[in-house]
Structure 1
Amino acid sequence: MNTKRLGTFVAAILVLDAMAHLYWLVRPASDPRALSMAVLNMDVPFTPRVLLPLILLLTTAAIAIVAVSRGRGGWPAKAVVFALGAGLLVRGALGLVWSSGLGTDTGTPFYRLNLLLYTPVCLIAAGSVGLVLARTRRTGARV
């Protein structure tokens, strides 16, 4: 798989996540606590103060990974992509711990979503980010 496709793949995941947050901003959940527990396994308010920075962060990361995968963006984009990869890897590793039942109730929606969606997506995306960074470095692309 080429670097441009990997970057586009990761960017698509990030944009989809940003769109989910935008949806929750525009159309708040009927039960925000239940949504928070299913998505985060903790009670966090889905308010503009929380959602807007997340949407901005996800969108910035999506732009950065596309830029780096195409040999553009310079060191600022590469720094954002490195931070993105590290964050995804940490989230994926935590997801593996939670998948074993440590720190979460195995009967909750969060546990099932973590096991079937969040952790695999984070680990696959982290690997894709790592490949983009490695291939960019190896090919000597100026970023």
Structure 2
Amino acid sequence: MNIERAILVGFLGNYLVNTVIAALVALVPASASGGILTPQYISFVVLAAILVGLLAWWYGARSLQNGAVFGVVGFLVAIATAFVTGVAGVLAQTGSLSAVVGVLPNFWPFLANWSTAVLAGYWIIPAALIGWYMQPKGAAAPSGM
């Protein structure tokens, strides 16, 4: 298991999810009903899970544990990227470290949101499934004939 490669592939995956997948989902017509489970959101989660599965295959997850570790690393990279992006955005807009300190407590409610669980789901579940699928299977039992 190569953690450095998992971090780099996770960072690439986070970039692709937040740019390419989001751009593709923007082509899905917006729902007039509103709510949480819109066609755009469902499309986003499904496409993101497919992308994470492809990245787990490319990473070379060869066991359930290896796939789950890759998914957890990708999830943590996504959280760290969101944190750094938020801090850098506030610093760039205000130029004040005191403004950054004032915004830091807002990150914890962001983590407590249900969308963080969805983020963990579309990173960990497909990666673990690909790892389980790619693990070496045991030899078939002899038929005894």
TM-score if structure 1 supplies the norm length? Answer: 0.29
TM-score if structure 2 supplies the norm length? Answer: 0.29
**Relative contact order (C-alpha < 8 Å, sep 6+): which is higher?**
2
Structure having the higher Rg: 2
